[in-house]
Amino acid sequence: MTDPLPPREVRTYRAWGAARHLAGGVRDPAFRELVQHIDGGPLHRCPPVVLLVDGAEAFRVMMQAIDAAREEVLLETYILRDDTLGTSVQQALVRAAARGVRVCVLADAVGSIGTDDDFWRGLTDHGVTVRLFHRVWQHPLEMLRRDHRKLLLCDRALAFTGGMNVGTEYGSSILHHEGAWRDTFVQVEGSVARELAAVFAEGWDRARGPALPGLEYVSWGELDTMPSLQLRVRAPALPFALPQAVQRQLGRRRDRRRGRLVRRVIETAAPEDRAVLVLDPRPGRGQREMLGVIAALLGGARERLWITTPYFAPPTRALSLLTAAARRGVDVRLLLPSARTDVPIVRHAAHGAYATLLAAGVRVFEYERATLHAKTMVVDGHASLIGSSNLDFRSFWLNAECNVLVLDAACGTAVEDTFQQDLTTSREITAAAWRERTMPHRLFDALARGMRWAL
């Protein structure tokens, strides 16, 4: 069946269209070349990826990694609370600094606004270097641009990223704690950890942190590579022809927006290897590439497309990609928050799109066991996107985010298994039931949907 996309939007969906023409979808060897061509970053070969879906277990593993670090610990987070979990992390960081480990903490100034000054002094007084990202008086015109990344890096060899902030609600087990949040982190090793350290260094530079030795990164303000070296990426050969003008445009955009030099230290993934691509958009760099990769994932879906996100307020064009996949027979499922959400207006913005999604055959579920905060996408049990990005305007255009695209059947199976487990404590929204909602509910849904660009 022909996908219902109007001709005027062909340019917008170029990445989507290219993936649609791959015989094997996301499993096609050319899909790797396509996403690398879109983003311009390297595909890393790495050991098996570890999925961490329970907060208590995730922070137990991360605390062990901090205690085992011998040279460097880098922590970046949107929220760092001074609660029980935050204090435990603080103590682990202080122990590392006492061993002579270089410890750097980067927290968003708005996300962590409730954290007491005594907490930060408890770090700095013991040798930990702390910076707060985009303090209002330092960047008054950029208050809306926040650091939403969540990263922990140990010795540039072991890294964790995903959706979990540092707070008791994130670090509690959903099996045993009533107030726990359902979130996902992922553990990766190898050269991908070094690229994630460069991601940290970019935000650290913006927050006026001291230079970190041995890292090449993009200076936030200048879009220059630090140290000052030029980036040249050779686009991989694709099994289909893109117009030369398009290739030149993509090449210029990639060279302009991607500045980190990590290829000299990467372990390049062969076609049969597990491959990891880092997607780290932030205002002014990498945003269109991130959207292009997401579009390619949607276009490359052949059997299943399962998405978990707590904040679902995408633009209309993104909805057309989801509905197009469902109409061509892909099993498209969305797992979204229930009334336990922490941002009700965004939930209503999602509600404003339910009728369109359900009419196209998209299955919609609302998670009821806990507050949903995980951000994952899995396609055909092979391609998994895990990180901090939500499917909303803020993540697309205002936040600094960090995600990893894992091309690996074992990881894909683990994400799918987790998704199915989450469905056991979720409620499916049916078209018939949705038509029964009250008029005030309908009006609030329409209002919130209309405000999606401001959420």
Q: What is the pLDDT of residue 249?
A: 53
| Per-state percent for the chain, helix, strand, coil, to nearest 5 | 40, 20, 40
pLDDT at 228 over 50: no
Residue 161, pLDDT above cutoff 70: yes
Question: Coil, helix or strand for 92?
Answer: helix
Hey, what are 109's tokens?
A: 């100034």
- Which pLDDT score, from 0 to 100, does residue 246 have? 52
Bridge partners of residue 405, in order along the sequence: 277, 385
Query: What is the arithmetic mean of pLDDT over 41-49?
Result: 92
pLDDT of 114 > 50? The answer is: yes
CA-CA distance, 27 to 34, in Å (whole number)? 12
Q: Which domains does the chain have, with CATH numbers?
A: 7-46+269-454 (3.30.870.10), 50-214 (3.30.870.10)
3-class DSSP state for residue 163?
coil
Tell me what the mean pLDDT of segment 268-292 comes to. Answer: 88
Closest CA to 238 of 155, 173, 296: 296
pLDDT tens-digit map of 401-455: 999 999 999 999 999 999 999 999 999 999 998 888 888 888 878 887 777 776 6
Give helix 439-450 / helix 344-360 axis angle, nearest 10°. Answer: 100
Least confident of 23-32, 227-236, 326-335: 227-236
For residues 144 and 398, the answer to whether their CB atoms sit within 8 Å is: yes
Supply the angle between the helices 287-300 and 244-257 in degrees, to the nearest 10.
130
Give 383: exposed, middle or buried? Use CB within 10 Å, 0-12, 13-18, 19+: buried
pLDDT category at 174 given cuts 50, 70, 90 is confident
Angle between helix 244-257 and 29-39 (nearest 10): 60
Cα–Cα separations (whole angstroms), residue 295 to 97, 320, 330: 43, 11, 15
The predicted-structure confidence for 141-156, as pLDDT tens digits, reads as follows 888 999 999 999 999 9
Strand-pair category, 158-162 with 151-154: antiparallel
Q: Which residues are designated catalytic?
A: 148, 150, 155, 373, 375, 380
Tell me, what DSSP letter sits at residue 211?
A: P
